[in-house]
Amino acid sequence: MADFKNEFSWSKSRAEKFNKCLRSYYLHYYGSWGGWDWEAKPEHKEIYVMKNLQSIPLWVGSIVHETVEWLTKLAATRDPVPIDQALDRLRKNMDMDWWTSESGNFRDQPNKMVGLMEHYYGEPIDQETFETAVTQSQDCIQNLYQNSVYQQFAGNQNLKILATEPYDSMNMNGLKVWAVPDVVTWDGTNLHLIDWKTGKAMGGDEINFQLSIYTAYCSIKWEVLFEKITASEVNLFLNQVKTRTFTVEDIQETKQAISVSASKMLDMLVDPENNIAREDDFPMTEILNFCGYCNFKRACGREQN
Contact positions toward ligand SF4, by CB under 6 A? 21, 23-24, 284-285, 290-291, 294, 296-297, 300, 302
Choice between 192 and 297, CB closer to ligand SF4: 297
Q: Give me the residue whose beta carbon is nearest to ligand SF4.
A: 294
CA-based Rg of the chain, rounded to a whole angstrom? 20
Helix (H) or strand (E) segment spanning residue 184: strand 183-186
Q: How far is the CB of 279 from ligand SF4 (least distance, A)?
A: 11
CB of 275 to ligand SF4, least distance (A): 20
User: Got the DSSP string for 121-175?
Assistant: TT----HHHHHHHHHHHHHHHHHHHH-HHHHTTTT-TT-EEEEES--EEEEETTE
Question: What single DSSP character describes residue 188?
Answer: S
User: Please, which residue, 47 or 172, has the CB nearer to ligand SF4?
Assistant: 47
d(CA 20, CA 12): 13
Please report the sign of the dihedral spanned by the C-alpha atoms of residue 22, residue 24, residue 28, residue 31. Answer: positive
116 vs 284, beta carbon nearer ligand SF4: 284
Element (H, E) at 58: helix 56-75
User: Closest CB to ligand SF4 among 65 and 297?
Assistant: 297
CB of 13 to ligand SF4, least distance (A): 15
Closest CA to 194 of 136, 236, 222, 224: 236
Nearer to ligand SF4, 23 or 192 (CB): 23
